[in-house]
Amino acid sequence: MTAVRTLLAFSACVVAVYGALPKAQPVLQLPSYVGKGCSRNDPNINECVIRVGAPAIKKVTQGDPKYRIPKLDPLVVDEIKVQQGTRQVGLSLSCKKCLLHGLQNTKFIRAKVDWDKRTCDWFLTLDKMRINGKYNVSGQVLLLPIVGNGDMEMELRDLKFEYKYDWYYEKKDNGLVYVVIDNSTFPFDVNFMTISLENLFNGDKLLGGNMNTFLNENWREILKDLRPALSKSLAALTKSILQNMANVVPYDVMFPEKYPL
């Protein structure tokens, strides 16, 4: 589940081709907002990645069609699902085409690059993420059958992300080497979460209010269900951003041996 739809639309985009290359493999420079990038021989590569990456986040989340990066704030997530317990005692909540707001404020805190092992680890934080959209819920909670559909809003606060990946090198038909990203994972932690479901029990304010209070008191359980799906879509998203860029910017341009003068 949770494929990131907007990215599919963009994968159909055609990127400009420089020079007459076999198989029309595009060759682009790094986007201007990452400056000179980072040299693969920089002894302080971790610091360089932060220096270059931190200010780029805002730009990247605004989207960059040249590198096939769609607008990421808000991000459309195909489906978010919470499945608690069984249908008799528990609930099943789904939100289709939910919007995830706030990624542009992500802060890049620390990076750990290991060239020998070809692994990379990023540490990021985000003060607040908001998810909203139309929900459906059914099940049984507090001895009450719960049914409803309407507007949903979740707010996640104090998020800590880690984005980890491996990479390998691949020589393309144009004779140039490109980076291929593998094994992306995106574990994260949330310090607090609120949830609000409008129009529960056909709009009964008292029952709906009690149920929302109950859900908020049990946000940790709800988050537990939410986590794998969110983690998976954030990993897929980040990977596709990097991979889309790595598909058009050769390794020697992305991480040059020496900094250009």
Which spans of this chain sit near ligand NAG (rule: CB under 6 A)?
A: 94-96, 118, 134-136, 149, 166-168, 182-183
Determine the length of the chain: 261
Helix (H) or strand (E) holding 6: helix 5-11
CB of 180 to ligand NAG, least distance (A): 7
Q: Nearer Cβ to ligand NAG, position 71 or 118?
A: 118
Q: Dihedral sign, CA of 12, 33, 177, 240?
A: negative
CB 104 within 8 A of CB 73: yes
**Nearer CB in complex with ligand NAG: 34/254:** 254
* Smallest gap from residue 96 Cβ to ligand NAG (A): 4
Minimum separation from the CB atom of position 166 to ligand NAG (A): 3
Nearer to ligand NAG among residue 182 and residue 204 (C-beta): 182
Least separation in angstroms between residue 149's CB and ligand NAG is 6
Q: Least distance in Å: CB of 93 to ligand NAG?
A: 9
Residue 161 exposed, middle or buried by CB count within 10 Å (0-12, 13-18, 19+): buried
Residue with smallest beta-carbon separation from ligand NAG: 166
- Return left, alpha or beta for 222; rule: phi > 0 is left, psi -120 to 50 is alpha, else beta: alpha
List 68's β-bridge partners, or say none.
none
Q: Which is nearer to ligand NAG, 66 or 164 (CB)?
A: 164
* DSSP-derived pairing of the beta strands 107-114 and 90-101: unpaired
Which CB atom, from 34 or from 208, has the smaller least distance to ligand NAG?
Answer: 208
Say which residues have a Cβ less than 8 Å from residue 224's Cβ, sequence separation at least 6. Answer: none
